[in-house]
Amino acid sequence: GAGVSQSPSNKVTEKGKDVELRCDPISGHTALYWYRQSLGQGLEFLIYFQGNSAPDKSGLPSDRFSAERTGGSVSTLTIQRTQQEDSAVYLCASSLFPGQNTQYFGPGTRLTVL
């Protein structure tokens, strides 16, 4: 497809379980970003990839969160031992180059932790 895609679109899980969220950026985009939007909150930056490497992981909320990107394309965001406060919409975006003016967003994954 032409845009950023994310899967699953919705995920409901029980507290304590691990979840994996996937992002397929626009083909050729070297930069990939993960954000989180909690209910009533703005967009919270989580992590950014330039190619396959993430220069700064300090935006991840806790050590239960990890992310990787392989082949300069697909990225996965993994949340271990999920907590109820992890419930949010997780958004992925990509841009042609790092720091480019416009980031193109995927539709998001709505995570609900029971």
Partner 1 sequence: DQQVKQNSPSLSVQEGRISILNCDYTNSMFDYFLWYKKYPAEGPTFLISISSIKDKNEDGRFTVFLNKSAKHLSLHIVPSQPGDSAVYFCAALLLAGANNLFFGTGTRLTVIP
Handedness of CA 76, 20, 82, 36 (dihedral sign): positive
65 part of the interface to partner 1, by CB under 8 A: no
Q: Which of 22, 30, 45, 61 binds partner 1 (CB under 8 A)?
A: 45
Q: Which of 27, 70, 84, 101 binds partner 1 (CB under 8 A)?
A: 101
52 part of the interface to partner 1, by CB under 8 A: no
Q: Give residues 70-89 in contact with partner 1 (rule: CB under 8 A).
A: none
Asked whether 33 and 93 are in contact (CB, 8 A), the reply is yes
Q: Closer to partner 1 at the Cβ: 54 or 88?
A: 54
